[in-house]
Amino acid sequence: MRRSRGPRRMLTVSLSIANEKASLPIAWRLYLPEPWAQDPELRGKAKIPDDVGFQTKPQIALDQIRAAVATGTPTGVILADAGYGADGDFRSGLSQLGLDYVVGVQPTLSVWRPGEEPLPPKAWSGSGRPPSLMRRSSDHKPLSAKALAQELQADAWRSVTWREGSNIDLASRFDAVRVRPASRDYNLTQPRAEEWLLIEWPDGDAEPLKYWLSTLPADSPLSDLAATAKLRWRIERDYQELKQEVGLGHYEGRGWRGFHHHARLCIAAYGFLISEREAIPPSAPARPQDSQESAVSRSSRSRTSAHAARAARPQLDRHHTPSDHRRARPQLAPMSLLRQGQCSSSTNFMTQ
């Protein structure tokens, strides 16, 4: 999920489907601040529909994900930054949909140490309602994700390379431990399920840099956890291209409908560009090994007169090429990003 600033610093919430090669927004909505949602004059000026009320950004994102799942969009791992991952209701909503996630969290996130959980309810005294809520005590309580990271042994950290950069491979130090989120679990009757707490602590830094919670399987390798968490670079890069090159950031209006219409057109144009790139090597399917060379060799082409190469050929019409003179070409495979029915782990939902 992406929480981004549009033109005139308007906040938007978007949902993209992505893999290692490309990403494309499939949902996009302007965030309506609560003062705007409650002001009839402002709503009227911006022509905000009557059925649009105030929602937090995680609530908007969860609605977008529910709609995508309901329409049969191929699902994968949900990726989101800490603006969404810190919201326990957002994480719970993803689990209720049966979706795994790797979401950023704050260093202040309350967790139980590995192997620990809340104390069970107090024993019933025999009168009144039997206690049912989990407990803590002065010597049995959770700690922050940052404090837990600082307790880990120095030899627990591993260097992980998650992708090739333009000049060097991108790598950092990571560790991951199985923990139970503890936020307000004293209001629960059962402890929360274990999840991965993934921590990045670059070598030489005084403290950890980033934290994630993940519901990926308990046997997931550290390299897979880190690579999945870092896949957000793809949407960040593509969003900048969408904003600067395609014109998403060029909207100058102030209306609700105009803003969303502009975004849809830009996203449609960007989707077309992605599909075109898939037809260009190295993304395009490889040419069969037995394909024959053109009848015109390199040497004969080099001897051709430059004037002759520029000469008009009225007998050629690019719109009506006779089929019997058309060279056979391998059929292009459908784009992997948008292939129907593909639900592999390489396809991810990203909410921003």
DSSP secondary structure string, 261-276? HHHHHHHHHHHHHHHH
SS (HEC) of 304-320: CCHHHHHCCCCCCCCCC
Span 107-145, pLDDT tens digits = 999 999 999 999 999 888 888 888 999 999 999 999 999
pLDDT at 148 over 80: yes
Residue 130's contacts (CB-CB under 8 Å, 6 or more residues apart) are 121, 124
pLDDT at 293 over 80: no
Q: What is the pLDDT of residue 217?
A: 97
pLDDT category of residue 302 using cuts at 50, 70 and 90: very low
Q: Return the minimum-mean-pLDDT range out of 123-137, 250-264, 295-309.
A: 295-309
Strand ranges for the chain from DSSP E: 2-5, 11-18, 23-30, 77-80, 101-105, 110-112, 143-144, 158-164, 169-181, 195-200, 210-214, 348-351
Helices (H), 136-231: 145-151, 222-229
Span 167-193, pLDDT tens digits = 778 899 999 999 999 999 999 999 999
pLDDT at 288 over 50: no
pLDDT at 58 over 90: yes
Q: What is the mean pLDDT of residues 250-258?
A: 86
pLDDT category of residue 211 using cuts at 50, 70 and 90: very high
Look up tokens 């620990």; give the residue.
Answer: 116
Number of residues written out for the chain:
352
pLDDT at 338 over 50: no
Q: What is the mean pLDDT of residues 290-318?
A: 46
Q: Which of 1.10.287, 3.90.350, 3.30.450, 3.40.50 would CATH assign to domain 2-119+133-279+345-351?
A: 3.90.350
pLDDT at 98 over 80: yes
At 250, list the tokens: 């060029």
At 343, list the tokens: 């639900």
Torsional sign, CA 86, 87, 92, 94: negative
At 123, list the tokens: 């024993």
Averaged pLDDT score across all residues of the chain: 82
Q: What is the pLDDT of residue 220?
A: 97
Specify whether the CB–CB gap between 23 and 234 falls below 8 A.
Answer: yes
Residue 194 DSSP SS3: coil
pLDDT at 309 over 80: no
Indicate the Cα dihedral angle 163, 166, 169, 174, nearest 10°: -60
pLDDT at 340 over 50: no
For 39, 109, 134, 171, 350, the CA distances from 202, given in Å and listed in that order, are 47, 20, 36, 9, 24
For 48, 258, 337, the CA distances from 40, given in Å and listed in that order, are 9, 19, 42
pLDDT category of residue 298 using cuts at 50, 70 and 90: very low
Q: Return the minimum-mean-pLDDT range out of 59-63, 216-220, 222-226, 297-301.
A: 297-301
Q: Cβ–Cβ contacts within 10 Å for residue 265, how many?
A: 13
pLDDT category of residue 233 using cuts at 50, 70 and 90: confident
What percentage of the chain has pLDDT greater than the value 70?
77
What single-letter amino acid sits at 200? E
